[in-house]
Amino acid sequence: MIANRTRTLLALVVATLAVLVSVAPAQQTVLRLPMRTVGPNTLDPAQGSTTYDNMACSQVYETLLQPKYTNPNELEPLLLAEMPTSYTDEQGRKVWKFKLREDAKFHDNACFPGGKGRAVKSDDFFYSLKRLADQRASEGKNWWLLADTIVGFDEYKARQDQAAKFDYDAPVEGFRKLSDTEFEVVLKEPIYRFIWVLQMFQTSVVPREAVEYYNADDKNLFSANPVGTGPFVFREWRPKQSFTVTRNPNYREAYYPSEGWSAEDIDRGLDKAAGQRIPMVDRVEFAMYVEDNPLWLDFENGKLGYIELPFDFFEKAFNPRTKRMERDLRRKGVEYVVEPQLDFIFRTFNMEDELVGGYTPEKIALRRAISLAADMHEINDSYYAGLCTVYDGPIPPGLDAHPEGHRVENSWMGRNLEAAREQLVIAGYPNGQGLPPIEYVTSRGGKNKEMTDMLVRQLSEVGIRLEPVLVDFPDLIARVNRREVPFFGFAWASDYPDAENNLALFYSPNASPGSNHGNYNRPEFDKMYEEARLMEPGPERTALYTKMRDMIIADAPYVGSLARNRYFLINEQMDNAKPTQRFWSWFKYCDTDQTL
């Protein structure tokens, strides 16, 4: 009897445990990642312009094309079933032909009937591009990407700008729908960069239903309720604190790359996950870090999968002489990757400002004096651990027309105090006499205050006074877009590996709120830019890029330049990580053993 009771009791315990196991939720893998500064300003690709907008949007939305994880200098299909093809039509115009994947679907969301996401169609792509033409939708930030590019698109925008209501159903001559999954885009001219624009997050495909659902009754909520096709679904955004996405349960079949890995990648074992289904993790949590100290401490304590190593912490991670990683980090299984950035870090002038703007010899001389008094090498050594490349012009190392040896013959980059004083005399301010203080605005966080103090001290040695103002990064962008700031600190990471993307920062139709934040305006430069953007890579185009570069250097519309060599540290729990700033959807390839 006792034995029977014991067997019965054991059976009940086993059955109970089985029930508990069956109802217990499976552990979720979670990738915890950092986002510098206060994070994104918007989750709407049409309004996005910053790195942090890009980081957030790229987890949820997708573009037609993307850079390859194995080699970001090459493109591959993302929402497309195959790479696009092109031909010349009967009028001599270049036509690009596209075919969408039939299994690409929008996320399940309340904006759709029954809450079920539908397949992506050709009309969705046309609608998404039209949003960049809609001043209300895009705030005018990203029209520069498509202006003067597609047949009839500029005329369409002009008509809608004058209309009482933007008509998304009105036709655009250069948009040709062949079927729900096939379409063509007709270019006004064979603009080389067009295909690269289609991998930029601003051209992500969004569903009209979501925009109209969340923006109904002028609520304007779509910018905080993203609905895309991406590997992750939006869960929560706590502005200036965190951004969270979870695995898209209905994501199409997509796999970790099996080809194209370099010998270095193979040595790191990056090829071992070949053929696995992506995304690999259940949840990605981004935390915002304005200051570097908590960022470093959280990484050191294993709370973050990876970090872009703050330059001020370089000596905590590496021997500054040998560049060898410190023993304690190696023992923890920390890896590192060094990636040269296509960076243009600079301080730029508002060329419309009464004091520092303008193109007369006196105005140019004032800007040259400021540039000559500034010392980029001291800033590099003091705040970037000497790891940046200091160079002349706006074209970073690795791109066509970057100057040999990083310098040009007629450079106005300092430090040369005697030459700075000579330029102040030409400007009409000998030893700075009569020159009003110049407001200089930059963002808070990191070592920006200390760098600004150094710049103030450097310029004061020739009698130039700066009035520094530090604001949150979104406030800086807003003020710059309104053209209110005379002199400000900025950084530009090239959107694609072509110097045209950097030269676009000085093309006058791109003036703020477009990418030409300094509002540079030289008709002769514009003419060369318009010619160069139609040219294929080659010596003739490089020569034109060089001429444009040197014109910018002569006018001194900025102080610079620096390009970062970024050190990424990867904690042991993050697998398959090939960190890059060239595109921000690479987290879908990563795995982790961390769980909720």
Residue 19's contacts (CB-CB under 8 Å, 6 or more residues apart) are: none
DSSP E strand stretches across 78-128 = 85-88, 94-99
Beta-bridge partners for 345: 491, 562
281-290, 437-446, 546-555: the lowest-pLDDT one:
437-446
Nearest partner of 46 among 111, 143, 164, judged by Cα: 143
Q: Are 568 and 311 in contact (CB under 8 A)?
A: no
Quick check: is 59 in a domain? Answer: yes
Q: In CATH, what number is assigned to the domain containing residue 525?
A: 3.10.105.10
* Domain end call among 176, 209, 242: 209
Tokens of 125: 């792509």
The pLDDT value given to residue 19: 42
pLDDT for 410-452, tens place per residue? 899 989 999 999 999 999 999 999 999 999 999 987 788 999 9
Question: How does residue 309 score in pLDDT terms, banded at 50, 70 and 90?
Answer: very high
**CA–CA gap between residue 350 and residue 106 (Å, rounded):** 41
Nearest partner of 366 among 351, 380, 381, judged by Cα: 351
The pLDDT value given to residue 25: 56
Mean pLDDT of 398-421: 94
The pLDDT value given to residue 15: 43
Mean pLDDT of 515-532: 96
Q: Are 116 and 209 in contact (CB under 8 A)?
A: no
The pLDDT value given to residue 217: 84
Answer yes or no: is pLDDT of 311 > 70.
Answer: yes
pLDDT for 256-271, tens place per residue? 999 999 999 999 999 9
User: Residue 454: what residue type?
Assistant: M
Q: How many CA atoms lie within 13 A of 569 on its CB side?
A: 28
Question: How does residue 3 score in pLDDT terms, banded at 50, 70 and 90?
Answer: very low
Quick check: is 109 in a domain? Answer: yes
**CA–CA gap between residue 185 and residue 98 (Å, rounded):** 8
Q: Are 485 and 438 in contact (CB under 8 A)?
A: no
The pLDDT value given to residue 2: 41
The pLDDT value given to residue 16: 41
User: Residue 352: what residue type?
Assistant: E
The pLDDT value given to residue 6: 43
What end-to-end distance do the CA atoms of the chain give, in Å?
46
The pLDDT value given to residue 511: 94
Tokens of 529: 């830019």
Mean pLDDT of 128-136: 96
Percent of the chain with pLDDT over 90: 86
Tokens of 282: 């259940």
Number of domains in the chain: 2
The pLDDT value given to residue 26: 72
- Give residue 157's domain range: 45-209
**CA–CA gap between residue 293 and residue 303 (Å, rounded):** 14
Mean pLDDT of 544-549: 97
**CA–CA gap between residue 486 and residue 483 (Å, rounded):** 8
SS3 100: strand
Tokens of 208: 């009209």
The pLDDT value given to residue 1: 41
Q: Transcribe 485-547 into DSSP letters.
A: -SEEEEEEE-SSSSTHHHHGGG-GGGBTTSSBTT----HHHHHHHHHHTTSPSSHHHHHHHHH
**CA–CA gap between residue 198 and residue 75 (Å, rounded):** 10
Percent of the chain with pLDDT over 70: 96
**CA–CA gap between residue 35 and residue 241 (Å, rounded):** 9
Estimate to the nearest angstrom the gap between the alpha carbon of 530 and the chain centroid. 24
* Domain end call among 209, 231, 256: 209
Quick check: is 551 in a domain? Answer: yes
The pLDDT value given to residue 76: 98
**CA–CA gap between residue 481 and residue 471 (Å, rounded):** 14
SS3 178: coil
Quick check: is 425 in a domain? Answer: yes
In terms of DSSP bridges, do strands 283-289 and 30-36 run parallel, antiparallel, or are they unpaired?
parallel
Answer yes or no: is pLDDT of 317 > 90.
Answer: yes
Q: Which residue has the higher pLDDT, 446 or 332?
A: 332
The pLDDT value given to residue 156: 98
pLDDT for 184-220, tens place per residue? 999 999 999 999 999 999 999 999 999 999 999 888 8
DSSP 370: H
The pLDDT value given to residue 473: 85
The pLDDT value given to residue 197: 97
Answer yes or no: is pLDDT of 277 > 90.
Answer: yes
* Domain end call among 209, 233, 254: 209
Say which residue the tokens 């304007």 belong to: 220
**CA–CA gap between residue 411 and residue 549 (Å, rounded):** 11
Mean model confidence pLDDT for the chain: 93
The predicted model scores a pTM of 0.85
pLDDT for 143-195, tens place per residue? 999 999 999 999 999 999 999 999 999 999 999 999 999 999 999 999 999 99
SS3 307: strand
3-state secondary structure 248-270: CCCCCCCECCCCCCCHHHHHCCH
3-state secondary structure 339-383: EECCEEEEEEECCCCCCCCCCCHHHHHHHHHHHHHCCHHHHHHHH
The pLDDT value given to residue 36: 87
Mean pLDDT of 97-113: 98
Say which residue the tokens 């921000």 belong to: 584
Quick check: is 229 in a domain? Answer: no
Q: Transcribe 193-255 into DSSP letters.
A: THHHHTTSGGG----HHHHHHHTGGG---GGGS---SSSEEEEEEETTTEEEEEE-TTPPP-B
Torsion of CA 229, 234, 239, 240, to 10 degrees: -80
**CA–CA gap between residue 382 and residue 590 (Å, rounded):** 34
The pLDDT value given to residue 139: 85
Quick check: is 39 in a domain? Answer: no
Residue 335's contacts (CB-CB under 8 Å, 6 or more residues apart) are: 268, 569, 570, 577
- 198-217 in b/e form (b: 16+ CB < 10 A) is bbbbbbbbbbebbbebbbee
Q: In CATH, what number is assigned to the domain containing residue 128?
A: 3.90.76.10
Quick check: is 332 in a domain? Answer: no
Quick check: is 445 in a domain? Answer: yes
